[in-house]
Amino acid sequence: MSNFLHFENVSKHYGEVKAVDQVTLTVEQGEIFSLLGPSGCGKTTLLRILAGFEQPDSGRVILGGKDVTDLPPYERKVNTIFQSYALFPHLSVWDNIAFGLKVAKRPRKEINDAVEAILAMIQMEDHAWKKPDQISGGQKQRVAIARALVNKPQVLLLDEPLAALDLKLRQRMLIELDLIHDEVGITFLYVTHDQGEAMSLSDRIAVMRDGKIEQLGTPAEIYEAPRTSFVAAFIGDTNFFDGVVAEPLEKGVVLDGMLSAALDKDYSRLKVEDFPDVECYNDKQIRQGEKVFLSVRPEKFRISREKPEARPHLNIIQGMVEDVIYLGSQTKYWVRVADYQISVIRQHSRFLLDEEPIEWDEQVWLSWHADDGFMMEKYSEQDEALLPAPPDKVGDEVEPEVEAQ
Amino acid sequence: MKPSRFPLVVTWAVLIFFYLPIVVLVVQSFNSARFGGGWESTSLKWYRQLLKEPSIWDALMNTLIIATTATAASMVLGTSAAFALHRYGKSLLQRLHFSLIYTPLVLPEILMGLSMLLFFVAINVELGLGTIFVAHVTFCLSYVAMTVLARLQDFDFSVIEAAQDLGAGWWTTLWKVLVPILAPGILAGGLLAFTLSIDDFVISFFVAGPGSTTLPIKIYSMIKYGSPPLINALSTLLLLVTFASVAASQHLARKGEPRRDPSRARITMAQP
């Protein structure tokens, strides 16, 4: 069914602040859809508008072909998992889960069966008569999920559901959420500021910023082809090159001056200030002299001591290693090239102790294929300030999840 | 090293200081002598006489009526006030509200009583049980509001949204979620209000009218015109009731609320 859940030009203001600004968005039935963005981007407000806790200033919300914009929360067939779980402290696990069904005045037998079944699904049968303060955080999380799902909502809303859990538990709950989704097939609307969660769980992601949707797409699309520098930097780590098109290349040319035999117009050469020229694939129509903002992800680089053999469309530059972080499965390098510090990731596919790893202060060669960069819109300096600082991302990489997609 | 005796001594001193007068009172209630002093003989004379004093029972009845109604009213009003204070506490109006609610806790009772009396006279209301009720609500609700407000500090408001999200309307949310969660706070406030109302003397004294004598006022007048031994007997009975209710409430609190749920019974049966 198309147009299962549809936000039509939805806006919400708090005084001067535009929390949600003219958002139009369609979510398909059965998918896990994530709203991803930094705090204050309007993602939670959008979720609360769907839940009915907030009234939009303008716009409509259509759910299952029905306009639900003016319905109170208790008349909407959606259920929410709150960040704090919001379990009823005075009720047992069993009664918490049964709450929605009891309010709906379902037959006693049906309530018993439904609650028992979902308790089995979340493997909490042995804790059915405990109060919320007698169970662990992960268990509370599962009870909150069960309490929502037992009502068979059309959409399950998840408001940063894993934020209160520690890293290990978060990873396990992610898998559990995915399994639960496979089992019940209900549409999930997942709100998070954690790109890792969104990438690994979602069918599609809407990256939000300042109340607007910055980009909408599958995790791989958003990671590999970010529309703006904001998206590129928010999802994973990247290197930006701010350049001007020197010439659309009639012939494939490698940058150390050697001529290649291939003939095509798909590539351009960029002049980057204080940096060697860069060849890149034309992701959009460009003219000579046009400004281009290029992003190259750290894992797209190859790092080596020996100079790689020149090939068509291969960028080869020399730099010096300034910092190394060994992360087990991969190593992160920061390589100084002129004024730029380039972040590079090397995946260890071979037994590392057999080789002599690249260390600090070594002269190295970086190479990457012109196809592996991506051109995008650049945001102003003020916007750059919003980008997460690189140290936050160490050890929090999303690349493996992308490959798993 | 020998453990210090200081804590033991202090404990005994405090206990004696607090309870010696009460012990004397209880013992004297069994003394048949009319004016305290010497011991005549042990008897239940004063208790028997107490039964024959209808004015005392009337006063007790008045006190209980006022305490019950004033407690109920202040539980509703106080809880509502606490909610408003907690939810919108930052606004100027609510900060004023807070000061006004807080004031009766620190205001001298005599001032409250006097101002109430002047107010009732000014608006031409006949003094009686009604005026005592109103006066008691005014100070009881402050205690309830403060107790509930303290309870609200660690109250997660998202449970209200959760209840609505699960299909509960306002009424169901109020009775199935809000009141049960806040019940300990509301009840504690109510208990406080009840005891304050029962033994309030000063304010009641000002706003009571003819035929609306409460027990504290009655006891006071008995000291002046009646017989002190009768008061001893009455006080002993009051003491008994108080201890019994305190013991009962502690017993209840320890036991918690045993839940009767058929599905629970089923589960326990299923597990031998």
DSSP codes, A1-47: -TTSEEEEEEEEEETTEEEEEEEEEEE-TT-EEEEE-STTSSHHHHH
- Better pLDDT: B266 or B154: B154
Spatial separation of the C-alpha atoms in residues B143 and A370, rounded to whole Å: 74
Q: Which residue of B has its CA nearest to A103?
A: B168
Spatial separation of the C-alpha atoms in residues B259 and B265, rounded to whole Å: 10
Half-sphere exposure of B26 (CA within 13 A, CB side): 10
Whether the CB-CB separation of B217 and B201 falls below 8 Å is answered with yes
The closest CB to that of B164, out of A74, A90, A95, belongs to A74
Give the 3-state secondary structure percentages of chain B, helix then strand then coil, rounded to 5. 75, 0, 20
How far is the alpha carbon of B57 from chain A, nearest alpha carbon, in Å?
Answer: 41
* Model pLDDT, residue A240: 87
Residue B172 has pLDDT above 70, yes or no: yes
Whether the CB-CB separation of A395 and A196 falls below 8 Å is answered with no
Write out chain A residues lying below 8 Å of B180, CB-based.
90
Burial class (CB in 10 A: 0-12, 13-18, 19+), A353: exposed
Is B264 touching A (CB cutoff 8 A)?
A: yes
Q: Where are the domains of chain B?
A: 1-51, 53-229
The closest CB to that of B180, out of A90, A100, A103, belongs to A90
The closest CB to that of A89, out of B181, B259, B263, belongs to B181
Whether the CB-CB separation of A18 and A10 falls below 8 Å is answered with no
Per-residue model confidence as pLDDT tens digits over B3-60: 788 999 999 999 999 999 889 888 888 888 776 667 778 888 888 888 888 888 888 8
Residue A60 has pLDDT above 80, yes or no: yes
Half-sphere exposure of B29 (CA within 13 A, CB side): 20
Q: How far is CA A237 from CA A274, A397, B22, in A?
A: 22, 8, 77
Query: Per the CB < 8 Å rule, is A78 touching B165?
Result: yes
Write out chain A residues lying below 8 Å of B165, CB-based.
51-52, 73-74, 78-80, 148
Q: Which of A45, A88, A92 to probe the B interface (max B CBs under 10 A)?
A: A88
The domain at B53-229 falls in which architecture? Orthogonal Bundle (1.10)
Q: Which residue of B has its CA nearest to A86?
A: B159
Residue A254 has pLDDT above 70, yes or no: no
Q: Which residue of A has its CA nearest to B179?
A: A90
How far is the alpha carbon of B143 from chain A, nearest alpha carbon, in Å?
Answer: 24
Is the Cα dihedral A239, A244, A250, A255 positive or negative? negative
Burial class (CB in 10 A: 0-12, 13-18, 19+), B52: exposed
Residue A368 has pLDDT above 80, yes or no: yes
Mean pLDDT confidence for A348-370: 89
End-to-end Cα spacing for chain B:
54
Per-residue model confidence as pLDDT tens digits over B182-237: 888 888 888 888 888 888 899 999 998 888 888 888 888 888 776 778 888 888 88
What secondary structure letter does DSSP report for A388? P
- Tell me the CATH number of domain A230-404, given options 2.40.50.100, 3.20.20.10, 3.40.50.720, 3.90.1140.10: 2.40.50.100
* Model pLDDT, residue A228: 87
* Model pLDDT, residue B37: 67
Q: pLDDT category, A397, cuts 50, 70, 90?
A: very low
The closest CB to that of B264, out of A74, A82, A129, belongs to A129
* Model pLDDT, residue A220: 93
Contacts of B193 (CB under 8 A, 6+ apart): B70, B71, B74, B75, B78, B140, B141, B143, B144
This model's pTM is above 0.90: no
- Better pLDDT: A393 or A112: A112
Q: Which of B157, B160, B165 to probe the A interface (max A CBs under 10 A)?
A: B165
Mean pLDDT confidence for A68-82: 93
* Model pLDDT, residue A260: 39
Q: How far is CA B78 from CA A14, B137, B142, B233, in A?
A: 31, 9, 6, 36
The closest CB to that of B167, out of A74, A87, A90, belongs to A74
Q: How far is CA A175 from CA A73, B54, B242, in A?
A: 29, 76, 58
* Model pLDDT, residue B196: 86
Q: Where are the domains of chain A?
A: 5-229, 230-404
Lookup: tokens for B150: 């303290």
Query: 């013991």: which residue's tokens?
Result: B247
Out of A376-380, B13-17, B80-84, least confident range: A376-380
Residue A73 has pLDDT above 80, yes or no: yes
* Model pLDDT, residue B1: 65
The domain at A5-229 falls in which architecture? 3-Layer(aba) Sandwich (3.40)
Query: Per the CB < 8 Å rule, is B168 touching A74?
Result: yes
* Model pLDDT, residue B261: 41
Is B163 touching A (CB cutoff 8 A)?
A: yes
Q: Does A230-404 match A5-229 at the fold level?
A: no
* Model pLDDT, residue B254: 60
* Model pLDDT, residue A119: 93
